[in-house]
Homo-oligomer: A and B are copies of this chain.
């Protein structure tokens, strides 16, 4: 995401004095709530979804993720790369290729 998009999300919160509501726990709830509005787009029919709704709900998830990164002073690239280091070890290509099993069942 571009710096100006992240700044826009930040300013939205600051302008409304909403930082007081953005505890890490409240943001975790919010990410789950929005993730489930996204999931609702695929509740009964996984093929014929409304792309406009999907875009809006996925955007909501992303906005709260940015809020949480901000709140905790985290860098998205740093935490994702640290997790990818782990994922690459948990799911070595030769074992995981073409299989959807969890690492402890590979």
Contacts and interface: CB of A to CB of B under 8 A. Distances in A.
Nearest to A38: B28
Given A16-B93, A59-B82, A76 B31 contact: no
A15 to B, nearest CB: 5
Contacts of A51: 72
A20 to B, nearest CB: 8
Contacts of A100: 18, 21, 43-45
Interface of A: 1-2, 5, 8-9, 12, 15-18, 20-21, 23-26, 28-33, 35-46, 49, 51, 54-56, 58-63, 65, 68-69, 72, 74, 76-77, 79-84, 86-88, 91, 93, 96-98, 100
